[in-house]
């Protein structure tokens, strides 16, 4: 494997590159396992798994997608019987999202593949280094989230 040049040894590049490579490995394993969804659909299913009853706008925010893109993904997942929309209990304009039995099976496959990719990514990394890495990443996320919250009213 090529070593990253000093110019490419930056936080942004390495985080983006690692994310890209993990997505690539996920796609490889998903195809090999004949997973019935693509990466975006898998992300949406996972979001609904972790937050049953989330609305489409919440998924859009969580996945950093446009709401219309989420609507299209949900349309497809609903047609294949993996997700169902239910009316929001207090907002007649909103729909909540729920996994069907088949959707839960698909999420189990997604999670199994994610575990394989995680093991590939962390091969040779000690438990102590893993914990330190996760602590650092949580700290970075916390810093960026706080900075975003402070400036979200400012037009970008």
Q: What pLDDT score does 94 carry? A: 86
Alpha helix stretches (DSSP H) within 4-100: 11-32, 39-50, 56-63, 67-79
Given pLDDT bands bounded at 50, 70 and 90, which one contains residue 9?
confident
For residues 16-34, average pLDDT? 94
Contact 5, 13 (CB under 8 A): no
| Domain coordinates in residue numbering, the chain | 6-123, 125-156
Residue 22 has pLDDT above 90, yes or no: yes
Pairing state between β 95-99 and 83-87: antiparallel
Q: What pLDDT score does 143 carry? A: 96
For residues 41-56, average pLDDT? 95
Q: What pLDDT score does 152 carry? A: 79
For residues 84-100, average pLDDT? 92
CATH architecture of structural domain 6-123? Orthogonal Bundle (1.10)
């Amino acid at each position: 494997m090529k070593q990253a040049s000093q110019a490419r040894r930056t936080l942004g590049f390495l985080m983006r590159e690692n994310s890209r490579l993990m997505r690539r490995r996920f796609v490889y394993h998903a195809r090999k396992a004949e997973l019935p969804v693509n990466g975006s659909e898998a992300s949406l299913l996972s979001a609904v798994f972790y937050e049953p009853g989330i609305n489409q706008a919440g998924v859009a925010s969580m996945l950093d997608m446009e709401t219309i893109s989420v609507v299209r993904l949900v349309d497809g997942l609903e047609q294949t019987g993996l997700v169902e929309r239910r009316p929001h209990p207090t907002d007649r304009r909103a729909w909540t999202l729920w996994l069907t039995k088949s959707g839960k099976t698909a999420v189990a496959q997604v999670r199994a593949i994610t575990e394989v990719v995680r093991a590939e990514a962390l091969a040779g990394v000690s438990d102590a280094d893993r914990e330190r890495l996760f602590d650092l990443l949580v700290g970075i996320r916390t810093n960026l989230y706080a900075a975003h919250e402070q400036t979200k009213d400012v037009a970008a």
